Amino acid sequence: MSARNFALAIQKFQNLQQFSFILRANNKLNEKGTEEIFTVLGKQTQIEVLQIVIEEENQFNDKQFNLVCDCFQYFKKLEHLLIKIGGFSQLENQTEILGQSLKKISALKSFYLKIGQSSQFGQQGLAYLGEGLSMHQNLKQLSIQFGRKNFENGQGYIDFGKNLQKISQLEKFSLILDDSNQLEGQQMVETFEAIGNQKNLKNLQIQINNNNEISKESGQQLGKSMQNLQQLEFLDIYLEKMNEQGKEILSFISGGLKDKQNLQILNLKLGNSFLGQFYKKEKSLAIVVQENQLCGQKGADQISQAIEGQKKMIQNFQLQMRQRGDFFNNICGFLPLMKDFSTDAIDLQQNQFGFGVKKQIQNHLSDLFETEQEFQDNFDDIDGF
């Protein structure tokens, strides 16, 4: 279908409330065709839900994207906006254009933005995006994913975080920074401080991938902000790269975990160790430990203490150990927290445990069985011993 025919088809609808525009890879839609479509779409003033998807390797340029975003101002009832820009796009100022257009929307409740890898934009674009978002005090859901090599460290991301602090009604927030964006040091502080302002937040996901370093100051602010989130039901934190002060950062995170009475799901992956997956409603705890060199005894104790208050809700325990690391010597600190224990959930295969480590785990496990015979009957079945 040509752009003209598509525009004519849109005209036939009255009171259109939802619209999706998906530009497939290698599509040859030109500027004239884009203008025809979105000039007509701008007359559909009743739109409440809008999805814009520009797939990878498109020739879609800044002028075309500006035509798309310019029509936002006519959608006075727009509440839900989803934008996906594929990798390797020709866009250079997409965040600046988008940020300016967000200022012209008044009723936005949820915003989702995903920008694919190698679709670069500058620090100024980040600042504009933050300014646009800061206008939406009633925003309930915010999800942002920046792909690989979208930007480099600088003042723009700091300004982006400061603008997020002006939003305070979020119930769901997701931030994913793919690797090679090269954020360093304290650049995360402002964004993590913004999280602490969200008193109604129930769902929080933070994923900071490799080449984006979490500093002590950033970790401290994240832990402090987490303490303010008493309504949290779902928490997923993945911090892939922490500096040499990683153990201190773990301490801050542990402090933020305490007294979360509404928490139902907790996923933690810090450094190269997956520390826990805690389901309060489902009454199960699963811990997977891989390639960890971050947590010694102190780390295990801190996480254990953080969930100590909720141990009555935990009925089942699962433990998988696939790689060797310091944390294995201390993982058994979790075991006394468990009430009903199933050895079927333990998999210690592919580990080169010494006798002392095995004995330590045996000692902790023995406390979970009423009789020595019951312990021996179950322990003999555990994989890896």
Q: What is the CATH number of domain 1-143?
A: 3.80.10.10
Domain ranges of the chain: 1-143, 294-385
pLDDT tier at 31 (50, 70, 90 boundaries)? very high
pLDDT confidence of residue 294: 42
DSSP 3-state assignment of 52?
strand
Segment of 111-115, 125-129, 299-303 carrying the highest mean pLDDT: 111-115
Tokens representing 344?
């079927």
Q: Where are the alpha helices (DSSP H) in the chain?
A: 3-11, 31-41, 62-70, 94-102, 123-134, 155-164, 189-196, 216-227, 246-257, 297-308, 355-366, 372-379
**pLDDT over 70 at 382, yes or no:** no
Residues 6+ apart with CB under 8 A from 375: 365, 366, 368, 369
Task: Give the tens place of pLDDT for each residue, 273-324.
Answer: 444 444 444 444 444 444 444 444 455 555 556 655 555 554 444 444 444 4
The residue type at 293: Q
| Axis crossing angle, helix 155-164 with helix 189-196, rounded to the nearest 10 | 10
Residue 370 burial class via C-beta count within 10 angstroms: exposed 0-12, middle 13-18, buried 19 and up: exposed
pLDDT confidence of residue 327: 44
pLDDT tier at 95 (50, 70, 90 boundaries)? confident
Q: Model-level pTM?
A: 0.76
DSSP 3-state assignment of 64?
helix
Task: Give the tens place of pLDDT for each residue, 48-85.
Answer: 999 999 988 778 888 999 999 999 999 999 999 999 98
